[in-house]
Structures are given as C-alpha cells and as structure tokens.
Chains A and B, each alone.
Chain A
Amino acid sequence: MTHPLSGATAIVGLGITPQGRVYGNTPLGFAVDAVQLALADAGLERGDLDGLLLNPGLAWADMGMGSFQLQQAMGLRDLRLSATMHLGGLLLNPGLAWADMGMGSFQLQQAMGLRDLRLSATMHLGGATACAMIQHAAQAIAAGLCTTVACVFSDAPLKPPKPEGERSSSGSAYGFVRGWEAAYGYFGVNAMYALVARRHMHRYGTTQDHLGAVAVAQRRWANLSPAAQMHEQPLTLEDYHRSRWIVEPFHLFDCCLVSNGGLAVIVTGRERAREARKPPVYIRGMAQGHLGGDPSDTLSSGAVLSREPAFRMAGLTLRDVDVVELYDCYTFTVLVTLEDYGFCPKGEGGPFAAEHVTGPGGRLAVNTGGGQLSSFYMWGMTPVSEGVIQVRGEGGRRQAAKHDVALVSGNGGVLSTHSTLILAREPS
C-alpha cells in the first residue's frame, strides 16, 4: 500500500541568491531575495504562500522571531504555518541560545498574537533542519493544514575584508568556546569532528588519502558548476595534502566553506505542483534518525535509522537512486553517510571514495554541485537545492544522465541529528 505522504507533495520552486563572499546584504535581505527567486522559479505569486518556515543562520540578530521578520519584510498575509526552525545549540553560546530557543515556536505565536494554532514546533536539528523543514511542510500540506510553504535558510556570517588588507577570518565565524574545555585549547566544531574522525581512522583504517578523495571528487563536480564558489579552482590529491592544516586530521579542504547568502524552496501539494512553471520534484520519501550516545563510539550518522523508513515510504530501494546529495560539513561526514545508507559496508567509506566512484563520470554521482565543501554552505539547503536541480535536469555540464531519484541527507551537531529526503521526477 502506498504511503499517503509519498508523492503527495512536491518542490516546485528553488531560489538561490549569490553565494559566498557577497557583502552589502543582511540575513533578512538574503532570505527575502531567496523566497522571491523561488516564487519566480515556481511561477507563483507572493500571495500564494500560506506557510513560511525559516532556519536562521548565525548572523540573524533576533532568531526567535526570524520567520515573523521575514513575513513582515515580504508583506506576506494570512499564513497558516509559520515557524523559525532553529539551528542546534551546538554552534552557539548555549547561555545565549537556550534561553531564547527552547520554546521558540511558542514565543513566536505569542509575539505574533496567533490563536488556535494546530501545529507548532521548534526544531533544533542543526544541519538536519533543512530537510526537516521540508518534511514538516509536506506533512502539513498533505494533511490539508496549508497549501504552499516557503522553506528558507539565510545567513551572512562573513564580513567584508578590512580596507588595510587585514584578513577577515572565515574560520572564526564558526569558532566558539565551551566552558572549561577552552583551558585545554579545545575550540570549535572542527576539533569536535576531528576527534570523531580520528576514531574512525583508528577503528576502520580510514586514511588521509581517503578523506582527500572526497575533497577532490567534489571539487571536480564544482569545476563543472559555475555557481560554485570554488568553480575555477581545480584540486588534486597533491594540492589537498599540501593545503594547510586546520585541525588534524582535517586539512583546509576537508572543511566546508562559509557563505553569505539565502536559499529557499517552495513546497506545495501534488495538484498545484502539476501547474507549476518547472517540472515538480516530488517528495517521495522522508525520515529522520537521531542516534544519541557518543559519536566517537557509534561512528555513524542517523542514516542507519532513517534509510529504511524513507525508502519504504518511497517504494524505492538504494539501487533506484540516481544522484546522492549528502550533507558534507566535512569530507569525513560524506564517508560515514555513504556507509550508513549502505552504498558500501560499514567502515569502508574511505576505500569506496578512493576508488574515484563518486566524482564526475563515476558510477555513483555524489554531491554533484560540489557540495558544501566546494560550492557553498547554506547548511542543509545546499544538498536539497542540488537534489532539486538534478531531478529537474537543470544541472548543465554536471547533469546526471539518469535523474529520476535523488537521495538527500541532512546532518546536525556531531553526527547528532539526521534527516533524509527522497526526491523524484514522478509522484509514484
């Protein structure tokens, strides 16, 4: 029996602002731009929206009210679904974040004077939030609670270069200090992931070459994508090894980019999707998986939990997947996620990547826009957007020949949260 959610909704609009070292716009401005681009892409008007889900990045001034700010900025009326889907506390000073974010959707309701809500949620899923927002939108639409929802991410953590030529550090945008650990020089999410990656190397024999293979494969995809920040910069394995260390075992090119910009998708029901300007990208399967425990022990993403229900809902198997868009905060995350979806046995993500199967011309098209390592970092919206582009067949030189089904993942925290979307050209 077909799952009632499978194919009931589709992504019909995609809006991507200029990405990367783009200055002179605010996070709110990027969000507005992204929604307008997505509406135009869908052939829809602003007044068609009755739902708005926002995942604000770090540079938003008031994150508890982000979706309301965006609603006001765009003059949207009569929304039936509105929520600010927060990033996890992991990337923030928890003292600042938790007080404001714990009941964010309730704060939003009160601040907006909303009455008799039938759906309210505050999501703290880090990089898994993008796919989770789309899941939330699809569920609400399929249940008849609303019809057309914009799901938005934007951020502007990068500041313009100083006039005197002083380097502005992108690394510091995501650097933070956590309590007593700073006394030992333990700073930043790079180090948190590095400790887990080192365990994976120890337990499974993953090597620096394996990590480098992911960086090289994704850069080759980015070299085919004019929108990628690293489009014009080729990368060899030798270049990778020569690049500076950030936190061993991570070189510079093991770590994702930092980007200013906005990205929105429009989700609507199957009927309306048929009338859209562009081919609908149907949401065939969805699931989440959050393992808990110490990622240094599990060495797994939540894909081990989410893969089975997502594919069951979609009525598809791993063999049906034509393109794979995995959340890639680090090269390491890609190896682990490939393992956990079952593209290779557990622990063999490294050798698998080193066979050069995931780059252009390989037998498994992974992160075909260059991913967050080489195209741009819109948190989980980067893999979502590339999944939409590929299923539509709009990938240009990087377009996969067969593009009926795309697997998209989100990952937040340190392998802490996970979300899966299965996107398809046909609703069933």
Chain B
Amino acid sequence: MTAAYTKPLPQVTREMAPFWEAARRHQLVVQRCRGCGAHRFPARDLCSRCLSREAEWAPVSGRGAVFSYAVMHQVYHPGFAAEVPYAVVVIELEEGARLVSNLVGCPVGAIAIGMPVEAVFEDVTPEVTLPKFRPRARR
C-alpha cells in the first residue's frame, strides 16, 4: 500500500469478528447452522429455517456466481469518488449463502448474473482484509 486507505472500513461487530479474522488469513468462512446445516451470511443468532441457535463458522470454497448487481453512480462516501461507476454485487456461494461484495478484474459492463466467480482477498490495511471476488472459468 502506497497511499492511505480512504474508504470506510467494515464495522467489526462481535458477531462478525470471526469472519474478519478469517479474512485476514485469506480464508472465507460463513456461518453454518448446527441444526440443519444451512450456510448463512451475515452472522445471525438464529437459523430462520430450523430456529436452531447453534451455529459455527465454516470454511467455504470461495466459489460461487453473481446473483445480482447494482452499478453505483452516486458518491456516498469520498473514498469511492474516484471509482464511480462501480458495481456492488451479490455473490451466491456454492454452499448457498449470499454475500454483498465487489468484483475485481471485471469491468462494470462485463458483469452478468450467473457469472462464475471465486474469492480473492484484499489486504486494505494491516488490520483489515476484504474478501472480494473475481471471474473464474466455468468448470
């Protein structure tokens, strides 16, 4: 990193801390319900399928596909001023959970729903790593 990071950093809540700790190790984890095995994201106290309160953080493949995307043209935070238009994407992991993220190595105009992606990790500060996604070849 040459310049100071100017975008907002994630609010690391107690519930989400394991996600960010894993990201620093370049590992993608999501919650998995101990009751029914469903993967979910972000962290929740309760499984909305089986109502179990037991969950663990489970490593996932990092593979998934673009579920939806929105191209942001307004600057809501000065850290993004140089990036508009940029895309916010929802990634549906192979394991089932959906994450809001960004794509790297993919121009906004090339994004399509169903596009296969895989996780990458951006160390944006010494303390914070953001999981993001890049296009991958379809298997």
**Residues of chain A having any CB pair with chain B under 8 Å:** 171-172, 175, 177, 179-188, 190-191, 194-196, 198-199, 202, 244-249, 294, 296
Contact = CB atoms under 8 A, between A and B. Distances in A.
Nearest to A200: B68
A180 B13 CA distance: 9
B106 interface: no
A350 to B, nearest CB: 17
**How many of chain B's residues touch chain A, expressed as a range?**
20 to 34
B76 A188 contact: yes
Interface string B80-98: 1001011010100000001
Interface in B103-139: 113, 128, 130, 132
B34 interface: no
A172 to B, nearest CB: 8
B7 interface: yes
A184 B73 contact: no
B67 A187 contact: no
Contacts of B74: 171, 175, 187-188, 190, 246-247
Nearest to A245: B73
A136 B115 CA distance: 47
Contacts of B77: 177, 182, 185, 187
Nearest to B112: A202
Given A177-B77, A245-B85, A183 B9 contact: yes
Given A188-B76, A195-B90, A248-B85, A183 B71 contact: no
A87 to B, nearest CB: 20
Closest 6 CB pairs of A and B: A180-B10, A248-B71, A194-B70, A187-B76, A245-B73, A182-B8
Contact of B86 (A181, A182, A185): A185
B16 interface: yes
Interface in B16-30: 16
Given A185-B7, A185-B77, A180 B16 contact: yes
Contacts of A194: 70-71
B3 to A, nearest CB: 17
5 contacts: A175-B74, A183-B9, A183-B10, A187-B72, A246-B74
Nearest to B7: A183
Contacts of B128: 183
A175 B113 CA distance: 26
A191 B88 contact: yes
Nearest to A248: B71
A145 B107 CA distance: 61
B35 interface: no
Contacts of A187: 72, 74, 76-77
Given A185-B102, A245-B71, A179 B10 contact: yes
